[in-house]
Chains A and B, each alone.
Chain A
């Protein structure tokens, strides 16, 4: 616990957060839960970008700027995702992913 922090600590944290997100996206039935898990994955990637910026390129800010782009795209993604979910809920009356089979014919 007293060892100095290295890039490996932050990468491990981001990796575990990403895997928790993957597990949630694969197993949640509720589609809002899937969207929340996807947000966890975006955040894991952002932690990695900020950590690379701090440890590998301490004189630049490119990693942080890239993380801001990821954040913007994540915000756009969740807004459109939730709007689509509301539209589907109005017709199908369910929030469970396995019931969304409108295109099955």
Chain B
């Protein structure tokens, strides 16, 4: 019973605040809703027993990416943006695309309507560490190169010409 309460309330939080991200006119409000959505997704990970993913989501997304987006939103844009349309004129076509995709996705999801959970969730941090430093060592090192490249790219693109 407790599981169901947690799932339904987190789902409502995630979906409603995701709608806030997409539909809010003010970009600052959008980015605050983004933080709320990401925190809700962290809760979903917790309810799925993915404890390391929960921690990583809170550290990387809620306290990293959401704050970074908020900084950039406040750095760019002006007050007059609040009076402009924030949605382009092709939103009916986009809605149609989403409706068609929704039919397909819900059909696929219905295939698993009898797959229920087997056994209790176990802590996963230890196994993830063993996997990363054993079998998946090469992708793990490659992803650190990707992060280094992103860091250098960010510095390269944002530097001013004079400096």
- A interface residues, Cβ below 8 angstroms from B: 1-13, 15-24, 26-30, 32-33, 35-37, 39-40, 43, 46-47, 50-51, 53-56, 58, 60-62, 64-65, 67-69, 71-80, 82-87, 89, 95, 98
User: In the assembled complex, how far is the CB of residue A63 from the closest CB belonging to chain B, in whole angstroms?
Assistant: 8
Interface positions, chain B 1-34, Cβ under 8 Å from A, are 1, 3-4, 7-8, 11, 14-15, 18-19, 21-22, 27, 30-31, 34
Is A11 a contact of B150 with CB atoms below 8 Å? Answer: no
- B interface residues, Cβ below 8 angstroms from A: 1, 3-4, 7-8, 11, 14-15, 18-19, 21-22, 27, 30-31, 34, 37-38, 41, 44-45, 48-50, 52-53, 56-57, 60-61, 64-65, 68-69, 72-73, 75-77, 81, 84-88, 90-91, 93-95, 97-98, 101-102, 105-106, 108-119, 121, 124, 127-128, 131-132, 136, 139, 143, 146-147, 149-151, 153-158
Chain B residues with Cβ below 8 Å from A29 are 84-88
Is A79 a contact of B121 with CB atoms below 8 Å? Answer: no
Chain B residues with Cβ below 8 Å from A72 are 60, 143, 146-147
User: In the assembled complex, how far is the CB of residue A15 from the closest CB belonging to chain B, in whole angstroms?
Assistant: 4
User: In the assembled complex, how far is the CB of residue A96 from the closest CB belonging to chain B, in whole angstroms?
Assistant: 8
User: In the assembled complex, how far is the CB of residue A44 from the closest CB belonging to chain B, in whole angstroms?
Assistant: 9
Give A5 to B118 CA distance when docked, in angstroms: 11
Give A20 to B76 CA distance when docked, in angstroms: 25
Is A15 a contact of B21 with CB atoms below 8 Å? Answer: no
Say yes or no: A27-B91 contact (C-beta < 8 A), given A10-B48, A12-B109, A61-B127: yes
Chain B residues with Cβ below 8 Å from A73 are 143, 146
Q: Interface on chain A toward B: helix, strand, loop, or mixed SS? A: helix
Give A63 to B109 CA distance when docked, in angstroms: 18
Chain B residues with Cβ below 8 Å from A24 are 21-22
Known: A21-B22, A65-B131, A86-B157. 7 other contacts (CB 8 A): A7-B113, A12-B105, A15-B106, A32-B76, A33-B21, A46-B53, A58-B117
Give A40 to B8 CA distance when docked, in angstroms: 19
Is B109 a contact of A51 with CB atoms below 8 Å? Answer: no
- 17 pairs across A/B with beta carbons < 8 Å? A6-B114, A13-B11, A16-B15, A20-B22, A29-B87, A33-B22, A33-B30, A39-B65, A50-B44, A64-B52, A64-B124, A72-B146, A75-B64, A76-B150, A82-B154, A83-B157, A83-B158
